[in-house]
Structure 1
Amino acid sequence: MEWMCKSFDALGSPLLYRILAARNAVFVVEQQCPYQDIDGRDPHCLHLVAQMHDASDVPQIAAYLRLLPPGLAYDEASIGRVITAASHRGTGLGRELLTRAIAIADDAWPSSALRIGAQAHLEAFYGAFGFVKASEPYDEDGIQHIEMLRPPAVR
C-alpha cells in the first residue's frame, strides 16, 4: 500500500483523475447518488490517498479522503469525501485512513476541532475515533447523515 498526502497542486493529472474516478464510483454509481462532486473546495484541501498497483502495475485507489482547513466548509477543520474501495472494505483500511487523517489534521490545525458530515449508520465507527454526534439526522442526497465533532488535539 502506498500512502500519500498531497496538496491539490501536487496531485498531478493522472492521480487527480484516479481520485475523481474513485469518488464517482462510490458516491454516484454505488450509492446511486447523483450530486455535484466537484464543488470548488478541492484546490484548498489536503488529499490523503492509499493506492495499490494491480497485476498490470496500474495504480488503483484503495482509500481516499480530503482534509478541509478551518473556515472552508465549517468553522472547524473537516474531513470529507471519505471512501474505501469495495475491494478493500473489511480489511481495516478505513480505520488506518481515518487514523492517518486525524494525525494530519492535528498537525496542520492543532487548535481546531474536526467536523465531519457522516452517514448516520457510521456513527459508531467515527465515535471510536473520538467524534461525537453534533446534529440531528438530516437527509443529504437521499442518505441520512449526522454532523460529528472531535475536539482539538491536546498538546
Structure 2
Amino acid sequence: MKFKVKRFDELSALEVYKILRLRAEVFIVEQECIYQDIDDKDQKALHVIGYKDKEIVAYTRLFDAGDYFKEASFGRVVIPKKERQYGYGHQLIKECVSAIETYFKTKAIKISAQTYLKKFYKTHGFKQIGEEYLEDGIPHIGMIRE
C-alpha cells in the first residue's frame, strides 16, 4: 500500500468522491450512524490516503493544534470492511503520527476514539483520558499520545 498526504485543494474530484463514498459506506451504512459527515472541516484538514492498486483502502484526516482540539488530531479513520484483515489500520495510524510530526511539528495528538478500538490505539501509544461519552450515538473515549 502507498500513502499520500494531500491538502483538500490537491484532491481530485474522483478522490473526493471515493473518500466520501468510503466514509458513508462504513460510518453511515455499516455502523448505522446517521450524522452529518460533510461538516466543512475537510477544507482545513490534511488527508492521509492509502492506495492499493489505485483504490483507496485507508483514509483519515489530520488537524493541526487548535483546528479541532488544543492538540493536533486525526479523525474519520476508515478502512473498508473487506480490507481490515490486512493490518492497514496499523499502517494508517503510523502514517498519521508521522505526518502530524512532519507537517505540524508536534508529538502531542488527541483523538476521539470509538470505545471498542481502545486496545488498538493503545498499541500506538495512546492512553485514555476522561470518561466514555456518546458521539453521534456511538460510545467514544478521549485518547492522547504525547
TM range (shorter): over 0.9
Once the two structures are superposed, what CA deviation does each residue of 1:9-59 show, in whole Å capped at 9, x if it has no partner?
Answer: 000111011001000100000000010011111111110111223xxxxx4
Partner of 1:136 in structure 2?
131
Q: TM-score, normalised by structure 1?
A: 0.90
How far has the Cα of 1:112 moved from its partner?
Answer: 5.2
CA distance in 1, matches of 2:107, 2:41: 19
Give the equivalent residue in structure 1 for 2:7: 7
Identical amino acids, percent of aligned pairs: 40
Moved over 6 A (4+): none
- Structure 2 portions without partners, runs of 5+: none
| 3-state SS, counterpart of residue 117 of structure 1 | strand
Residue 94 of structure 2: aligned partner: 99
- Matched with 2:47 is 47
Q: Determine the C-alpha separation between the residues in 2 that align with 1:104 and 1:42.
A: 16
Task: Give 1:121's match in structure 2, choosing from 104, 116, 120.
Answer: 116
Name the residue aligned to 1:67: 62
Secondary structure, aligned partner of 1:101? helix
TM-score (norm 2): 0.95
The Cα shift of 1:72 comes to 1.1
AA partner of residue 18 (structure 1): K
Residue number in structure 1 paired with 2:21: 21
Separation of aligned partners in 2, 1:148 and 1:83: 17
Segments of structure 1 that go 5 or more residues without pairing to the other structure are: 54-58
Contact 1:76–1:112 under 8 Å retained in 2? no
Q: Retained in 2: the 8 A contact 1:3–1:48?
A: yes
* Structure 1 residue 111, shift from structure 2 partner: 3.3
For these two proteins, the number of residue pairs brought into alignment is 146
SS of 1:96's partner is helix
